[in-house]
Amino acid sequence: MITKDELEELIEELENYKGRHTELITVYISEGYDVNSVQKQLEAEKSTAKNIKSTATRKNVIDALEKIIRHLKTLKKTPKNGLALFAGNVSKTEGQQDLQLWPIEPPMPLKIRIYRCDKEFVLDALREMLEVDEIFALLVMDRKEATIGLLEGKRIELLHKMTSGIPSKVRAGGQSSQRFHRITEGLTKDFYKRIAEEMKKSFFENKKLKGILVGGPIPTKDEFLDNDYLATKLKEKVLGRIDLGDTSESGLRDLVEKSQDILASQEIIHEKKVLEKFFETLGENPGKAVYEETNLRTALQYGAVETLFLSKETDKKLAKELTKLAKDTGANIEIISTETTEGDQFKKLSGIGALLRFMV
């Protein structure tokens, strides 16, 4: 299993390779999926590839597939987090072959399966892993159904589907209105308790939990949230209540879609807070904050940097050098956008800076 830092470097390397034709192969094997099934699929793809008209392309595709298949045969089972494999002729000289294979066990579970033969490697699923340091809990509910999921980067994962068992409004067996109401209210409360318990099991101990989004009809979600069914620690993380009619799996997607402003504001709030601290320190205790490259490099070399700030507009080569120095000394790293007033101000100052553990 590789680290996020190693994954970032590999992605940068793989981005640079371009095939002359659709001959670079990407294979994603999701966590828990049978590696032998993938091997059989690729054997079938090899047979199909024999129909490729171009001799050079046909050879490159078949050779790349064989290289992946040989690697898969060495595995007894799929690694814990799944497996990403990239193979192809990456020679820059036409007519020459430089056949390479990159088998990658990612730092986070792969949730998708892919086989793709293209002019470039498919890297989006791995790129998303670099972005994800936090998750959002999702809940869509009414009195009859609840669906619990999570948002991780751009990926929505279904965790639980639940039903209440509450009967329809037509009373069975001529029950009195009051008795029927008592039964349904009791079942509703039990259902809310079950939802709260599942939310607790799924998210209470999750350190990556950034916030909770709840969707559903107006009375139901408010009734659930306002009557303390949810554990206090989780209730404090509720960021939004969204009016929704769909409480199925597709309702999770609707919830995320309707919460875009809330999700964006969370990033903005965080960015504003960290930059406010940086500018405040720069003004009140300038020995504990730096923004000039020479001073910043010195502080990094001494291990004095607590948090490194890099604008998204910073020169890539410089950003990579400073990031490596920061990671080597255990410093935190904040990537700053230019979409906030503070972020734009930071870019104009120098686009690089740091809060220090101690003065140098």
Which runs of consecutive H residues, i.e. helices, occur in 107-246? 124-131, 177-203, 218-226, 232-235
Residue 160 has φ and ψ, to the nearest 5°, of -145, 145
Question: Which amino acid appears at position 97 of this protein?
Answer: Q
**Residue 126 to residue 84: CA distance in whole angstroms:** 9
**Residue 113 to residue 102: CA distance in whole angstroms:** 17
pTM of the predicted protein model: 0.56
Residue 81 has φ and ψ, to the nearest 5°, of -95, 10
pLDDT of residue 175: 57
As to burial, measured by CB atoms within 10 angstroms (0-12 exposed, 13-18 middle, 19+ buried), residue 95 is exposed
pLDDT of residue 29: 96
CATH number of the domain at 266-356, out of 2.130.10.10, 1.10.357.10, 3.30.1330.30, 3.40.190.150?
A: 3.30.1330.30
Q: Domain map of the chain by residue range?
A: 4-131, 135-258, 266-356
**Residue 189 to residue 102: CA distance in whole angstroms:** 53
Residues of the chain whose pLDDT is less than 70? 5, 132-133, 168-175
Question: Which amino acid appears at position 198 of this protein?
Answer: E
What is the length of the chain?
360
Instruction: Collect all residues with Cβ–Cβ distance below 8 Å to 220 and sequence separation of at least 6.
Output: 141, 142, 143
pLDDT of residue 340: 78
CA 335 to mean position of chain CA atoms: 16
Strand residues in the chain grouped as ranges (E): 24-29, 83-89, 99-104, 114-118, 135-141, 145-152, 155-163, 209-216, 238-243, 289-290, 305-311, 332-336, 352-356
Beta strands 209-216; 135-141: pairing state = parallel
For residue 305, the SS3 value is: strand
* Under 8 Å between Cβ of 106 and 31: no
CATH architecture, domain defined by 135-258: 2-Layer Sandwich (3.30)
Name the CATH superfamily housing domain 4-131: eRF1 domain 1 (3.30.960.10)
